[in-house]
């Protein structure tokens, strides 16, 4: 902080010159692959979303919008989708993206010899699961009725199917199968790449959608947060996601204050509790832990207000999210519940975390709150791979994690995280099992009407929260700032929905 203060105090005004049509971004890691079938992390998904397009996309409000399909019909059973493709949809090599090319892309994602870890995205399609297992046969659920019409039949109604199709994994690769990114079906193509260092993207000349405001994008790979902030400050980056430690400084700095944009992210941060743990399987203990932790105080002090207290798993901004009541801070109630549950005096709760200084501070505060109600805890830090493996194997009594929306639908939060079939690696890290909730979640998946789904989702979320499978924390507020070279941009609610189309160069006024 001191270093930044000193450095910013009297910096000269030299800016790195860049052509007006060039947008300069930084990512924290190099995408391992530009293959939609293997994009499993945020950076990979963001990269794929720029170069490939799916049947549908997500607009800036997070709603499903046309992509390669300009329109679609869904029958009354909710199992037959008919997509009308845009006849102007072309790959960057000029080849037409017709129904046959889309079908081939889906077959590729499900190909058992290709081993895509995201084949489950298309699981709802009739025959997809058995095809992906290598049980042979045709993928009967996807048929090209003509060049412009693609029929998809589902094994059973799935209201979130269009949201799944908007995921980068379901994006359409060109007919040639080239997944290097140099031939794309989306708004950009990869013009140059220096592995580990940079990526240069240029407009896809044949893309059927609105022409992006910028002509090219330079993405630099900068792993360290501090360095990304430095690059933005000296004018070598145009967009910066502001780290929590720099939030106040940027908001109060006259150079950037007005260009800082805040948004409640479609993310939920939580402390998962292993519901199969001998002590934690008692709901009274889990509720007690929720009453013991002063979440509002942590939000105010450690996060400096960059979060919205969560009342359930679904963030506000997703239909069904943001309602209900949070667990009130009530240490007395916590103590009484713990006494009622006869928690052993020598019980030590292990709190696991990834190596992150902010998370460490949060857990230290949680530890102090737990100590105040007589619960001893210890904090363990593990690197991401080890932490995930331990959680998936059920070895972690409590762990601080988060969940990002793949698509803005309540189902994307509730089903992976609370359906018993997903216990472990499927997303239900707390290993929460409740047959009644399972049935309600399955009904939610089948309900097409948006208003009814939202109500149902809200009710299920509240019912699960009453069972306290987690210590509920917050939905983080993300802050981003743009340089003066950029206009017309607002952050996309889903990171992999960002395609840098609306952003445009702000031409400087003549002096």
Partner 1 sequence: MTAWALRRLAATIPVLLGVTLVTFVLTYLLPGDPARAMAGERYREEDLDRIRRELGLDRSLPEQYATYLGRLARGELGVSFATGRPVADDLAERFPRTLLLAAASLALALVLGLPLGTLAARFAGSFVDRAATVFALLGVSLPVFWTAMLLLSVFAIRLRWVPPSGYVDTSVLAIVLPAVTLGVRSAAVIARMTRASLLDVLGQDYLRTARAKGVGEAGVLVRHGLRAALVPVVTLVGLDFGSYLSGSVLTESIFAWPGVGQYALQAILRRDFPAIQATVLLLAVVFVVVNLLVDLAYGALDPRIRVRPEKAGAS
Q: Taking a C-beta distance cutoff of 8 angstroms, is the pair 456, 320 a contact?
A: yes
Q: Does 144 bind partner 1 (CB under 8 A)?
A: no
Query: Among 366, 350, 370, which residue's Cα sits nearest to residue 358?
Result: 366
Binding residues with partner 1: total (CB under 8 A): 61
Instruction: Mark 199-233 as b/e (b = at least 16 C-beta within 10 Å).
Output: bbbbbbebbbbeebbbebbbbbbbeebeebbbbbb
Q: Which of 71, 145, 348, 386 is the binder for partner 1 (CB under 8 A)?
A: 386
Residue 301 binds partner 1 (CB under 8 A): no
Burial of 36 (0-12, 13-18, 19+ CB in 10 A): buried
Contact call for residue 416 and partner 1 (CB under 8 A): yes
Q: What is the DSSP letter of 197?
A: T
Binding mask 419-438 vs partner 1 (x if CB under 8 A, - otherwise)? Answer: ---x-xxxx-----------
Write out the two tokens for 367.
């530890």
Helix (H) / strand (E) element for 358: namely helix 357-372
Least distance (Å) between residue 7 CB and partner 1: 4
Q: x-or-dash pattern for partner 1, window 55-94, by CB under 8 A? A: ----------------------------------------
Binding pattern to partner 1, positions 171-210, x when CB under 8 A? -----------------------xxxxx------------
State in angstroms the smallest separation of the CB of 139 from partner 1. Answer: 18
Stretch in the footprint of partner 1 (CB under 8 A) among 100-108, 252-260, 334-342, 386-394: 386-394
Q: For residues 324 and 308, what is the distance between their CA atoms, to the nearest angstrom?
A: 13
Partners of residue 481 on adjacent β-strands: 240, 260
For partner 1, what does the binding mask look like between residues 212 and 241, x meaning CB under 8 A? --------xxxxx-xx--xx-xx-x-----
Q: Which is nearer to partner 1, 112 or 319 (CB)?
A: 112
Say what the alpha-carbon torsion angle 294, 299, 300, 303 is, to the nearest 10 degrees.
140
CA distances to 98, 107, 135, 142, 254 from 138, rounded to whole Å, are 19, 10, 10, 9, 61
Compare residues 87 and 425 and give the one whose CB is closer to partner 1.
425
Q: Is the dihedral of CA 264, 265, 266, 270 positive or negative?
A: negative
Among 8, 77, 146, 356, binds partner 1 (CB under 8 A): 8
Is residue 19 part of the contact set for partner 1 (CB under 8 A)?
no
What CA–CA distance (Å, rounded) separates 31 from 87? 31
Among 41, 138, 258, 300, binds partner 1 (CB under 8 A): 41
384 binds partner 1 (CB under 8 A): yes
User: Which of 33, 420 has the CB closer to partner 1?
Assistant: 33
* Cα–Cα distance for residue pair 49/101, rounded to 1 Å: 18
- Tell me which of 63, 75, 115, 177 binds partner 1, using CB under 8 A: 115
**What is the nearest approach in angstroms of partner 1 to the Cβ of residue 305?**
27
**Of 42 and 365, which has the nearer Cβ to partner 1?**
42
Which of residues 48, 49, 110, 119 is near partner 1 by CB under 8 A?
Answer: 119
392 binds partner 1 (CB under 8 A): yes
The C-alpha atoms of residue 388 and residue 426 are separated, in whole angstroms, by 12
d(CA 485, CA 492): 19
Q: Which is nearer to partner 1, 72 or 403 (CB)?
A: 403
| Interacting residue with partner 1 among 33, 130, 263, 420 (CB under 8 A) | 33
95 in contact with partner 1 (CB under 8 A) = no
Select from 21, 87, 117, 205 the one that contacts partner 1 (CB under 8 A).
Answer: 117
CA distance 132 to 143: 17
Token pair of 418 as six digits: 């609370």
Q: How far is the CB of 419 from partner 1 (least distance, A)?
A: 12
- Smallest distance from partner 1 to CB 334, Å: 31
- The H-or-E segment that residue 132 falls in is helix 128-132
For partner 1, which residue of 143, 249, 388, 487 counts as binding (CB under 8 A)?
Answer: 388
In the block, residue with structure tokens 């031409």 = 507
Count of Cβ atoms closer than 10 Å to residue 285 Cβ: 23
Return d(Cα 139, Cα 117) in angstroms, integer: 18
Residue 11 CB, nearest approach to partner 1 (Å): 5
Cα(344)–Cα(338) distance, integer angstroms: 9
Give the binding site for partner 1 (CB under 8 A). Answer: 3-4, 6-12, 14, 16, 29-30, 32-33, 35, 38, 40-41, 112, 115, 117-120, 133, 194-198, 220-224, 226-227, 230-231, 233-234, 236, 382-390, 392, 403-404, 416, 422, 424-427
């Amino acid at each position: 902080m001191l270093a930044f203060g000193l450095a910013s105090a009297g910096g000269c005004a030299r800016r790195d010159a860049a052509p007006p049509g060039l947008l300069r971004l930084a990512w924290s890691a190099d995408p391992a692959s530009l293959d939609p079938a293997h994009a499993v992390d945020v950076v990979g998904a963001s990269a794929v979303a720029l170069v490939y397009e799916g049947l549908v996309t997500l607009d800036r409000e997070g709603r499903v919008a046309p992509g390669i399909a300009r329109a679609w019909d869904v029958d009354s059973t909710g199992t037959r989708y008919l997509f009308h493709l845009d006849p102007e949809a072309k790959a960057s090599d000029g080849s037409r993206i017709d129904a046959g090319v889309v079908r081939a892309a889906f077959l590729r994602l499900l190909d058992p010899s290709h081993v895509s870890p995201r084949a489950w995205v298309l699981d709802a399609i009739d025959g997809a699961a058995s095809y992906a297992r290598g049980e042979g046969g045709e993928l009967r659920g996807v048929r090209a009725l003509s060049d412009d019409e693609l029929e998809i039949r589902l094994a059973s109604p799935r209201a979130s199917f269009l949201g799944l199709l908007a995921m980068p994994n379901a994006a359409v690769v060109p007919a040639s199968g080239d997944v290097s990114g140099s031939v794309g079906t989306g708004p950009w193509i990869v013009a140059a790449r220096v592995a580990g260092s940079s990526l240069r993207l240029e407009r896809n000349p044949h893309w059927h959608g609105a022409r992006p405001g910028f002509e090219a994008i330079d993405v630099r790979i900068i792993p360290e947060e501090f360095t990304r902030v430095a690059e933005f400050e000296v004018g070598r980056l145009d967009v910066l996601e502001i780290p929590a430690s720099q939030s106040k400084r940027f908001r109060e700095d006259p150079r950037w204050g007005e260009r800082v944009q805040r948004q409640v992210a479609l993310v939920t941060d939580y402390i998962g509790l292993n519901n199969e743990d001998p002590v934690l399987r008692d709901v009274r203990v889990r509720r007690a832990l929720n009453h013991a932790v002063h979440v509002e105080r942590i939000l105010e002090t450690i996060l400096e207000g960059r979060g919205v207290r969560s009342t359930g798993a679904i963030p506000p901004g997703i239909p069904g999210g943001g309602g209900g009541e949070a667990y009130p801070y009530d240490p007395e109630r916590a103590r009484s519940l713990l006494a009622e549950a006869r928690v052993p005096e020598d019980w030590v709760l292990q709190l696991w975390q990834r190596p992150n200084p902010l998370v460490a501070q949060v857990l230290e505060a949680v530890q102090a709150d737990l100590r105040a109600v007589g619960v001893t805890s210890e904090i363990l830090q593990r690197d991401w791979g080890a932490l995930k493996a331990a959680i998936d194997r059920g070895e972690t009594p409590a762990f601080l994690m988060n969940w990002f929306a793949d698509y803005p639908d309540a189902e994307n939060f509730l089903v992976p995280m609370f359906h018993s079939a997903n216990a472990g690696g499927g997303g239900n890290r707390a290993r929460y099992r409740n047959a009644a909730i399972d049935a309600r979640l399955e009904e939610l998946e089948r309900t097409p009407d948006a208003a009814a789904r939202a109500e149902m989702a809200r009710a299920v979320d509240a019912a699960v929260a009453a069972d306290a499978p987690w210590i509920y924390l917050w939905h983080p507020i993300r802050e981003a700032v743009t340089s003066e070279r950029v206009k017309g941009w607002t952050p996309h609610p889903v990171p992999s929905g960002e395609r840098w189309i609306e952003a445009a160069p702000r031409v400087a006024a003549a002096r």
